[in-house]
Structure 1
Amino acid sequence: MNKYNSMVFRLTGIIFLLFAATIGTLLFLVNYQMDTHFSNYLYTHAMGGMPMGMHGMMMHNSPENIYLSSVHQSLFWVGSVMICISVFVSWLFVRSFVKPLRKLTDAVHDIAEGSFGQTVRVDRNDEVGMLADTFNDMSRKLEYNDTMRRQLFASIAHELRTPLAIMQGNLEGMIDDVIPADKEHFLSMEDEILRLNRLVQDLRDLSLAEVNELVLHKSDVDLNLLLTRAAGMLQPLFDEKNLHVTVHLDDAVPLLQLDKDRTNQVIYNILNNAIRYTPEAADITITTCLEEAAGKRQVRLQIADTGPGIEKEDLEHIFECFYRAEKSRNRKSGGSGIGLALARQFVLSQGGTIQAASEVGKGTVFTITFPAA
């Protein structure tokens, strides 16, 4: 903000101008009175030869009385006029100052009643304008968070409803002797219970990680070894889609203080997404390297695929809970939508960073960094 737009500067300037105008006017009138009436007084006094009786008769209309009366009248009128001007200018200024604040107050009342997204238009660059801009940003974020909260509840209800409906259907069929109560159906119901339990556990871990209360069991972890084992465990899935997996691991990567289980979950989540969305006979590249950034050593892990990529409007939301670029919610094309949100929170909880870059038609790259001791 330019200092000339500051209200402090404006107030100081207005007060200075009012005082300057008042003092200047007073000086001008005093000088004017001195040049006219007081000069006349000196001239009359210099005459000197007037008799005493005549002098007493002239005292009532003497130049001194005329001078003093004129000065008093001038000061009175000047003061009255300047007070009126000051009051008028102050009223105009305060009115223009309070008007946007009243708009802000009305908008705050609307937000307090649950009407999020209210904005105030204030075309000024001073502190009031900055306050209005900040309020507008806050209001838009509240509206966005409220929308995401509603979507989150709807997504959780959707994810919970599916396994519950399956189990309810099986139980009702068994009660009505429509479905046989055999081991196969019990195992199917157990799978749904396990999936439901995993979802609840993931939601619990996510909520704990967001408030920095997730318990981490850190130890010396060989990140290259974790990646090698993960690639080996997922090799059947790679072979099923005829994916070409290339692994470039930097031998200089040191042991890192990480939670092994949480880090494994991050790696598997990203690799499973790459397998799920990458077409057959495509490429997946896994690389690690030790680098220095801002005077600190860090380990960078990249998992890149040559899949269809992610649209720009979807890319900035992929780490949000239950967000899917594919809106049909088909389980063949996507999981529950919580994997990347968990991965992000697990990485952040361990002092790392995670980013995604994508280009439609060329693929997606996930970059994870961890501080190196």
Structure 2
Amino acid sequence: MVDPGRHLTRAQGRLPDVRPLDRLSSIKIKLGVLVTLTVTLAAFVTWIGLYNELGPSRTLPLAVVASVLMVQVLARGMTSPLREMTAAARAMAAGDYSQRVRATSRDEVGQLAAAFNTMATDLEQVDTLRREMVANVSHELRTPVAALRAQLENMVDGVVEPETPTLEAALAQTERLGRLVTYLLDLSRLEAGAVGLDVRPVPLGRFLADATEAAVPVAADKGVRFEVTVTPEDLHVPADAERLHQVVANLLHNAVRHSPDDGLVRLEAWTAGHVVALDVIDQGPGIAPEQRRQVFERFQRGNAPAQTGQVSTGGTGLGLAIVRWAVELHGGRIEVADSATGCIMRVFLPADPPGTANVER
């Protein structure tokens, strides 16, 4: 990150960049002060010339030259941020987002310079995120593609027979590619605001039971079990069932991935005032407090706390980002709750239809 105080070097021009009028809060006041000082200086030079009997032919040119020099010095300081912004914009067009403008005045030009610096910082962050996203997507795609290619080459070359276990491994890599593409498409739709919601009352008891049943094949290899508790039993939440299933499915897959063998994943739902809370609780290593906000960013994976000596692996780093976007699309929020053991992913959704209640924050 570039130091916010960094600004463009001013190699052009020979006059000093003096800014004595920076304390004034309006460009109109600055112009008024500039005119007043110019007239005063011209009058003073004229008075000095006449007092020393230089005559009008000498006094007038001296007054004009002195006034022009003062205007040049003061006006240069007033317009310097504009020249810096022009140079910075050209640098940004060439791909350099590190340039900053010296924003010291309090008038409209100074406010524009400060806004320009904020924009430059945002563009630099977006460019960094874009580069990281391209690199991460390339890495995520390369791994299953390389594995799938190796498996297919082995079968084509006759190294291995196209038996069921080999085909299942190839299918798993293909499914991983499909999930990654689906995640990217969903995330792009959510960020573009192109995803609408069909909000209807969703009975959480039956809904969560169906979600865990759909996740059983994912948990079968590790022997992970599911347990659903809904209080009260007839609890409903206004939501888009398809998007809510996407949220729960991602959280369940994440919980299974980080659970120990023969572990237990619990789903608990209850009401808390005008919100419905949903917990997905696993028995894994958990997420360190300093990483709990990062796990909901794209291509971020939560590491286990240092004392466990474990690191959460697997996944695309997109699932929890999609969960956060989908929850916020409902007007809710998601967080990693404190837990003595394991990890608790807690979702808050409005208990009332949109427009009648807000999620407590």
TM score, norm. by length of structure 1: 0.67
> 2:174 corresponds to which letter in structure 1?
I
How far did 1:266 drift? 0.5
How far did 1:360 drift? 9.6
C-alpha distance in 1 between matches for 2:132 and 2:36: 57
C-alpha distance in 1 between matches for 2:70 and 2:232: 72
Q: In the alignment, what sits opposite 2:26? A: 6
C-alpha distance in 2 between matches for 1:227 and 1:253: 11
- Structure 1 residues 228, 76: CA separation in 2 closer, same or farther (over 3 Å shift)? farther
C-alpha distance in 1 between matches for 2:314 and 2:287: 14
The reply to whether residue 101 of structure 1 matches residue 78 of structure 2 is: no
- Structure 1 residues 213, 263: CA separation in 2 closer, same or farther (over 3 Å shift)? same
How far did 1:263 drift? 0.5
How far did 1:95 drift? 0.8
| Contact 1:302/1:365 (8 A) holds in 2 | yes
Sequence identity percentage: 27
Task: State the Cα deviation string for residues 104-153 of structure 1 (Å, max 9, x = none).
Answer: 22121111001122223333333333323222222222222222222222
Q: In the alignment, what sits opposite 1:113? A: 94
Task: State the Cα deviation string for residues 149-180 of structure 1 (Å, max 9, x = none).
Answer: 22222222222222222222222222222111
Q: 1:337 aligns with which of 286, 298, 317?
A: 317
**Normalized per residue, which structure has more helix?**
1
- Structure 1 residues 125, 274: CA separation in 2 closer, same or farther (over 3 Å shift)? farther
The reply to whether residue 154 of structure 1 matches residue 132 of structure 2 is: no
| Contact 1:309/1:359 (8 A) holds in 2 | no
> RMSD of the alignment, in Å?
4.3
Q: Secondary structure at the match of 2:182?
A: helix
How far did 1:207 drift? 1.4
Larger radius of gyration: 1
- Structure 1 residues 179, 17: CA separation in 2 closer, same or farther (over 3 Å shift)? same
Task: Please show how residues 193-342 of structure 1 align to structure 2 within 5 Å.
Answer: 193-214=174-195, 216-227=197-208, 229-230=210-211, 247=229, 249=231, 254-256=236-238, 258-277=239-258, 286-292=268-274, 298-303=275-280, 308-312=286-290, 314-326=291-303, 333-342=313-322
Q: 1:126 aligns with which of 86, 107, 120?
A: 107
Q: In the alignment, what sits opposite 1:369? A: 349
> 2:231 corresponds to which letter in structure 1?
L
Gaps of 5+ in 2: 1-21, 48-53, 305-309, 354-361
How far did 1:181 drift? 2.4
| Contact 1:254/1:372 (8 A) holds in 2 | no
How far did 1:269 drift? 1.8
The total of aligned residue pairs comes to: 315
- Structure 1 residues 180, 269: CA separation in 2 closer, same or farther (over 3 Å shift)? same
